[in-house]
Structure formats: structure tokens, C-alpha cells
């Protein structure tokens, strides 16, 4: 029988076991009354100097600790593998599921009653939340906050400009020297990317789900209020332990519906889809890819933020933050959802107020009428593919064009700027084998750059289709997450250069205009390239990763194993 607080199964024990558990904690100079009988709060830290977006987390953890101590708990900080989006090869996404396992096992194996997840850079949020959901002890998320807005020659810049600037250099509109100047002004402070990319979308996601305190999403990393929020979260997790308020109480089906609608209204990242599906799978809430479309279909874009709009996360905070956005959406949200502070969403939004209509517009005067995620179906993506309509070009929303196929990312890199490549803006660029199994790890290459010769003519968008992902900061008429991916067989594996592809966003279809018998013949003749990955984590990944339409989690990680550890080696 488990004790009232699970940490007492360690520190409350008598005899040899209790001696060992307590004595080694005391070697840190901690008297036993500090951790006996008090809620032990784990602070799960993704600090790393190799994850620049999370490099300020040791400082942030100190604020959490102050809050935990103030509320009568005992904080213990522990590291987990960190995922730095910019530095990790071949792609940080390959390791999301690995980190979720690290988090799950670290929480369960240790004398922890509640946990604070310190999340920032893109994958750290879903990875930590997935792991915590599979244990289901009281949990609160503290995000690291966005960087200050970047500056270049008097202009505001953010991560989205990387794609523009590098295209400008390729087309001769910008010099390397100017690019260096932009590089120096891009990341002006601690924090994660300052646009509504994946990290910001994830920070908004946890706030919309109710698993963080209100205001978590937008406070800049270097604003003193970020530390205040961290301290308040430290205080609150102690109360959550006493109230036994678990993720499963907060992360209900209604909370997931709220998160989908909020992501639409803010123009959130396409990566939101894959991560939310994985989190839902862990906490046991049924959710399908189609619902990202049906739940957001009439949701306008009311946050004017890059990459779909003009402003940055800092501006969102000054304009009232995510609570102001959610207040605008109130009639569309389930306001009875319980959140981490123990109050309903409705109660949390009472004092929320939008104070800059340029940044947060009203529902009746949206920044863009169309938002959310479009889920496409058709013979090219039987199980679905996604597209962000607010980032797509109007004239390409219904388009038929001949495919120019790249078999993998290396093939694309080798040929895209070849002057002999037969391509014009009416073509559809197709990139295969960048899916979960095929790459492996599903990198963010879906918004592949256009051929140099097309850019030089001032063309900035073409229809692009892949089984990979796109950075949340990317834009364009880009179809992503094609399922089944090329490496899993299916029609996407057998698309050939010259085939006609028909994209119809209003009608949610993506089809290959090739007769069915021809497709069947191609699939019969198709020989997949055997993987050369025979060991290690990457092998485990290729054997067990599910398709993007299911969240790309491992098949054996669905659900959870709870918090009870029935065996004890001491």
C-alpha cells in the first residue's frame, strides 16, 4: 500500500532502507526534517549550454525552488536530456521520444510527489509533458519564455526572416555581409524563438491546456515577471500535491479541444499537431488528426504574429498575452476546464484584457479570416497530410501541376539549383523519405527553398509536398506530414517526376492524377531501400515509431504506467 505521499515510501521508511534513502540525501548538507513528511517537488530541468533557448534555466529553477520552499515543500532539481533545435543532428525530433522516456522513468523511479517541468526550445515541451503524463503525478509546466525581438538595421526581425534572408542571398538581393549583420541582431537575449514558431506554440499549448499558470506563454525570458511566474508555479505545485490535482484531471478531452482552437487563433505551428496527438496518446484522450481541421475550421486568426503576421511574442505579452486571446475566444472554449491553479478557465479569464488591437484583434475584426490546420486527404495521403492555410499563397490554394520529385534530402540539395533542372513555378516540388521512419526522425525540411532560377524571377512560393515537417517559423503553400510516408509504402512512395498532382485546399483534397491500376503496378514493382541502421537508439526508433498522423510516438509508449513502483532492490 502506497503512503499518502509517495516520497514517504522512501524517506518515511524505518530500518536499513530508510537509513540509506535519508543518509545519502544528508550528504548534500540537508537535515532530514527538510525532506521528511514534506511534498518533494522535482524540478525537471532541460538546462544545457547546447540548448541556447534553455540556457537560463538554472536561474529559473532557483525561482521555482524559492516558491516550493515558501509553500512548505522541498525542491529537488534533476536533469534530463535536453533538445537544442539548432545544434542537434540529424534532427532534434529524433530524440523527442527518448527524452520522454528519460522524463517518465526519472519521475517514477525517484521520491517525487509533484513535478515542475522547465520547458523551452521546441521539443523540450512535448517531450517533458509526454513523459509526465505517463506517470500522472501532479505536474505544472514553466516555460522559459521568448527572446526579445531581433533587430536588423532598424527593422524588427525573428526566426522567420532566416528563410527570407537566405533566399535573398541566393537570389542576390542581400550580401553575405548583410546576412552577418542580421545574424548578430537576431538573438538579442535569453529565451526561445520570438515568433509564433513551435516553441511559442508549445508554450501557448500548455497554457491553453491549463497545465501551466495563466500568462505562462508570452512573458519574455528576460522580463522579471518570468521569474515571478516561476516562483508562483513553485508555490502552486506544492498545493497541487496536497489537492492531488493530476495531469489526468486537467488534460481532459475538453482541454485538448481548447488547445486546438487556441492554436488556430494564434496561427500556431504545424508541429503542434504531431505533439498534441502524442500527448493525447499518453494521457489516454482519444484524438484524431481530422479533428485539428474540424475543430478549427471556423476559427479566425486573431493574433497578428509572425510567421502569419507582423508582430512578436514580446508584443503579444504587452498586448495582454494569451489570456487576452482566450478571452476573445471565450464563447468557443470550454470554460469549465480546471487548470493548474485550481480555478476554471472562466475564472482565470475574468481580468484578462486585450490592450492593443493591432496585435490581438477582436473576433469580429480578425487579422485573417482563415486559420488553423487544414487536413488533406486523397490518394496521395490516405491517412492525411496537413497544411497551414494562413501561411499559404492565395493563388496556390487550388492548384494542379506536374511533380518534380526528389527522392531524399540529399537528392534535393544536389539538384535544386542545377540550371538544367526542368522546373517552373507551376510545378509541384515533392520531397520523399523525410518522414519519421524514412529519414529517420522527420526533420524540418518540408518548406524546401525554391530553385535559384525561380527565386531570381521574384517568385516566392510554389506548392511543396513532403512526408517531413516544417519549422514553425516557416511559411508557404507547404503540404506536410504525408501519411503513409514514402518509407512506409503507399502512393507517396511511387510518385514520379511528371505526374500531375492536384491540390484543393478548400475541398481538403490532395490527389495524384494517375490511374489506379498504374499506381498498383508501380507499388508492386516498388523496392524499398533497406535501412542501414542496425543498432542503438536510431534502430529502436525506426522499429517502433508510428506515422505522423498518430503523433510519431513509439507504439510501446502509448498510455502510461502510473507512479507506483512495486519492487524495491534495497
- Site residues (vs ligand FES, CB under 6 A): 53, 85-86, 121-122, 159, 192-193, 197, 199
User: Nearest distance from residue 54's CB to ligand FES, in Å?
Assistant: 8
Between the alpha carbon of residue 421 and those of residues 317, 427, 502, the distances in Å are 46, 12, 22
Report residue 280: phi and psi, to 5°. -60, -40
Distance CA 568, CA 385 (A): 46
Dihedral of CA atoms 246, 252, 257, 262 in degrees, nearest 10, equals: -10
DSSP secondary structure letters along 22-53? HHHHHTTT--GGGTSSS-EEEEEE---TTSGG
Closest CA to 111 of 167, 50, 42: 42
Residue 136, C-alpha cell as written in the block: 500522472
3-state secondary structure of 549: helix
Does 484 sit behind a cis peptide bond, omega within 30 degrees of 0 on the bond before it? yes
Task: For residue 151, give the C-alpha cell.
Answer: 533587430
> Looking at the DSSP assignment, which residues form a beta bridge with residue 512?
501
- The interaxial angle of helices 96-109 and 271-283, nearest 10 deg, is 30
Question: Shortest distance, CB of residue 52 to ligand FES, whole angstroms?
Answer: 7
DSSP string computed for 460-516: ---EEEESSB--TT--SSEEEEEES-GGG-SGGGG--TT-EEEEETTTTEEEE-S-H
Give the cell for residue 70. Answer: 515558501
> What DSSP designation does 391 have?
G
Q: Nearest distance from residue 270's CB to ligand FES, in Å?
A: 15
CB nearer to ligand FES: pick between 134 and 473: 473
Kindly state the DSSP code that residue 546 receives in the 8-state scheme: P
Whose grid coordinates read 533538445? 83
**β-strands 463-466, 428-431: how paired?**
parallel
Q: How far is the CB of 218 from ligand FES (least distance, A)?
A: 14
The DSSP secondary-structure symbol of 415 reads H
CB closer to ligand FES, 122 vs 546: 122
- Residue 206's SS3 state is helix
Of all helices (H) and strands (E), which one includes residue 69? helix 57-70
* CA dihedral sign of residues 48, 53, 56, 58: negative
Q: Kindly state the greatest CA–CA separation across the chain.
A: 79
Amino acid at each position: 500500500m502506497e503512503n499518502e505521499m509517495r516520497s514517504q515510501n522512501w524517506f518515511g521508511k524505518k530500518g536499513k532502507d530508510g537509513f540509506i534513502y535519508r543518509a545519502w540525501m544528508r550528504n548534500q548538507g540537508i537535515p532530514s526534517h527538510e525532506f521528511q513528511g514534506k511534498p518533494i517537488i522535482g524540478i525537471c530541468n532541460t538546462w544545457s549550454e547546447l540548448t541556447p533557448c534553455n540556457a537560463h534555466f538554472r536561474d529559473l529553477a532557483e525561482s521555482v525552488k524559492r516558491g516550493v520552499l515558501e509553500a512548505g515543500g522541498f525542491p529537488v532539481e534533476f536533469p534530463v536530456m535536453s533538445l537544442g533545435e539548432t545544434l542537434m543532428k540529424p534532427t532534434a525530433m529524433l530524440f523527442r521520444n527518448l527524452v520522454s522516456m528519460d522524463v517518465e522513468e526519472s519521475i517514477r523511479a525517484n521520491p517525487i510527489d509533484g513535478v515542475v517541468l522547465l520547458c523551452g526550445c521546441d521539443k523540450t515541451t512535448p517531450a517533458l509533458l509526454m513523459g509526465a503524463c505517463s506517470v500522472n503525478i501532479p505536474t505544472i509546466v514553466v516555460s522559459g519564455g521568448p527572446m526579445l525581438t531581433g533587430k536588423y538595421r532598424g527593422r524588427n526581425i525573428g526566426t522567420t526572416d532566416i528563410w527570407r534572408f537566405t533566399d535573398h542571398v541566393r537570389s542576390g538581393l542581400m550580401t553575405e555581409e548583410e546576412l552577418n549583420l542580421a545574424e548578430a541582431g537576431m538573438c538579442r537575449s535569453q529565451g526561445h524563438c520570438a515568433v509564433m514558431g513551435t516553441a511559442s506554440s508549445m508554450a501557448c499549448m500548455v497554457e491553453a491546456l491549463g497545465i501551466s499558470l495563466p500568462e505562462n506563454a508570452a512573458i519574455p525570458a528576460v522580463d522579471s515577471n518570468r521569474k515571478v511566474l516561476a516562483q508562483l508555479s513553485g508555490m502552486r505545485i506544492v498545493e497541487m500535491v496536497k489537492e492531488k490535482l493530476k495531469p489526468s484531471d486537467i488534460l481532459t478531452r475538453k482541454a485538448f479541444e481548447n488547445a486546438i482552437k487556441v492554436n488556430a487563433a494564434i496561427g500556431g505551428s504545424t508541429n503542434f499537431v504531431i505533439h498534441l496527438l502524442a500527448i493525447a496518446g499518453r494521457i489516454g484522450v482519444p484524438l484524431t488528426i481530422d479533428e485539428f481541421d474540424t475543430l478549427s475550421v471556423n476559427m479566425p486568426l486573431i493574433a497578428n504574429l509572425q510567421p502569419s503576421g507582423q508582430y512578436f511574442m514580446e508584443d503579444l505579452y504587452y498586448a495582454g498575452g494569451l489570456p487576452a486571446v482566450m478571452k476573445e475566444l471565450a464563447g468557443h472554449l470550454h470554460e469549465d476546464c480546471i487548470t493548474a491553479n485550481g480555478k476554471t478557465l472562466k475564472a482565470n479569464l475574468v481580468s484578462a484584457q486585450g490592450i492593443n488591437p493591432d496585435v490581438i484583434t477582436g473576433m469580429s475584426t480578425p487579422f485573417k479570416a482563415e486559420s488553423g490546420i487544414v487536413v488533406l486527404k486523397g490518394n496521395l495521403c490516405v491517412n492525411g497530410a496537413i497544411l497551414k492555410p494562413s501561411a499559404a499563397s492565395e493563388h496556390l490554394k487550388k492548384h494542379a501541376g506536374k511533380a518534380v520529385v526528389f527522392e531524399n534530402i540529399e537528392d534535393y540539395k544536389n539538384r535544386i539549383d542545377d540550371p538544367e533542372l526542368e522546373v517552373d513555378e507551376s510545378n509541384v516540388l515533392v520531397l520523399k523519405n523525410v518522414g519519421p521512419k524514412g529519414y529517420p526522425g522527420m526533420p524540418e525540411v518540408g518548406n524546401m527553398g525554391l530553385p535559384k532560377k525561380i527565386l531570381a524571377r521574384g517568385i516566392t512560393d510554389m506548392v511543396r509536398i513532403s512526408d517531413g515537417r516544417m519549422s514553425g517559423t516557416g511559411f508557404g503553400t507547404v503540404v506536410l506530414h504525408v501519411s503513409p510516408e514514402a518509407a512506409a509504402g503507399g502512393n507517396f512512395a511511387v510518385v514520379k517526376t511528371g505526374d500531375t498532382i492536384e491540390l484543393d485546399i478548400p475541398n481538403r483534397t490532395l490527389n495524384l492524377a494517375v490511374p489506379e491500376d498504374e499506381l498498383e503496378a508501380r507499388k508492386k514493382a516498388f523496392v524499398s531501400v533497406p535501412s542501414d541502421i542496425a543498432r542503438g537508439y536510431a534502430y529502436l526508433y525506426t522499429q517502433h515509431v508510428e506515422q505522423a498522423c498518430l503523433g510519431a510516438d513509439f507504439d510501446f509508449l502509448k498510455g502510461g504506467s502510473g507512479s507506483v513502483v512495486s519492487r524495491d532492490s534495497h
